[in-house]
Chains A and B, each alone.
Chain A
Amino acid sequence: MSETPKIRLRGLRKAFGEKQVLDGVDLEVRARHSMVLLGGSGSGKSVTVKCILGLIPPDEGVIEIDGQDVAKLSRRDRAALLDRTGMLFQNGALFDSLPVWENVCFKLLAQRRITRRAARDRAAEVLAQVGLAASVGDLSPAELSGGMQKRVALARAIAAQPDIIFFDEPTTGLDPIMGAVIDGLIVDCVERLGATAFSITHDMASARRIGDDAAMIHKGRIVWTGSAEALGHTGHPMVDQFANGSREGPIQMELRR
Chain B
Amino acid sequence: MTRALDLLALIGRGAFATLATAGQVAIFALVGLSHLLRPPFHARQFWRHFAEIAYFSLPVVALTALFTGMVLALQSHTGFSRFGAETALPSLVVLSITRELGPVLAGLMVAGRIGAAMAAEIGTMRVTDQIDALTTLSTDPMRYLVVPRLLAGTLALPPLVLVADILGVLGGFLIATLQLGFVPQGYLDATWDVLETMDVVSGLVKAAVFGFLIALMGCWCGYTSRGGAQGVGQATTRAVVAASILILAFDYVLTAAFFKQ
Contact = CB atoms under 8 A, between A and B. Distances in A.
Interface centre among B132, B138, B139, B144 (most CB of A within 10 A): B138
A107 B129 contact: no
B128 A55 contact: no
B43 to A, nearest CB: 12
Interface stretch (A5-13, A25-33, A79-87): A79-87
A96 B131 CA distance: 12
B162 to A, nearest CB: 29
Interface in A69-101: 79, 82-83, 85-87, 89-91, 93-97
A246 interface: no
Q: Considering residues A82, A93, A107, which has the most beta carbons from chain B within 10 angstroms of its beta carbon?
A: A93
A95 B129 contact: no
A93 B135 contact: no
B136 interface: yes
Contacts of B128: 91, 93
B135 A54 contact: yes
A162 to B, nearest CB: 10
Contacts of A82: 135-136, 138
Contacts of B121: 97
Contacts, number: 51
B137 interface: yes
A111 B130 contact: no
A110 interface: yes
B140 to A, nearest CB: 9
B183 interface: no
Contact of B133 (A54, A83, A89): A89
B135 A110 contact: no
Interface residues of B, number: 16
B135 A89 contact: no
B125 to A, nearest CB: 8
Contacts of B40: 110, 112
B120 to A, nearest CB: 11
A167 interface: no
A38 B137 CA distance: 25
Contacts of A83: 138
A106 interface: yes
A90 B132 CA distance: 12
A233 interface: no
A27 to B, nearest CB: 20
B233 to A, nearest CB: 17
A85 B136 CA distance: 7
A209 interface: no
Contact of A93 (B48, B130, B139): B130
A53 interface: yes
A44 B98 CA distance: 57
A222 to B, nearest CB: 23
Contacts of A236: none
A217 to B, nearest CB: 20
A95 B133 contact: yes
Give the most central of B40, B121, B128, B133: most A CB within 10 Å: B133
A192 to B, nearest CB: 20
A87 B129 CA distance: 11
Nearest to B137: A107
A55 B135 contact: yes
Contacts of A106: 137, 139
A87 B138 contact: no
A91 B136 contact: no
Nearest to A89: B129
Contacts of B139: 106-107, 110
A93 B132 contact: yes
A109 to B, nearest CB: 9
14 contacts: A50-B132, A53-B135, A83-B138, A87-B133, A87-B136, A89-B132, A93-B129, A94-B130, A95-B125, A97-B48, A106-B139, A110-B138, A156-B137, A166-B136
Given A54-B135, A95-B133, 19 more contacts: A53-B132, A53-B136, A55-B132, A82-B138, A87-B133, A89-B129, A89-B133, A90-B129, A91-B128, A91-B129, A93-B128, A93-B129, A94-B130, A96-B124, A97-B121, A107-B137, A107-B139, A112-B40, A166-B136
Closest 10 CB pairs of A and B: A93-B133, A93-B129, A87-B136, A107-B137, A110-B139, A89-B129, A93-B130, A55-B132, A106-B137, A83-B138
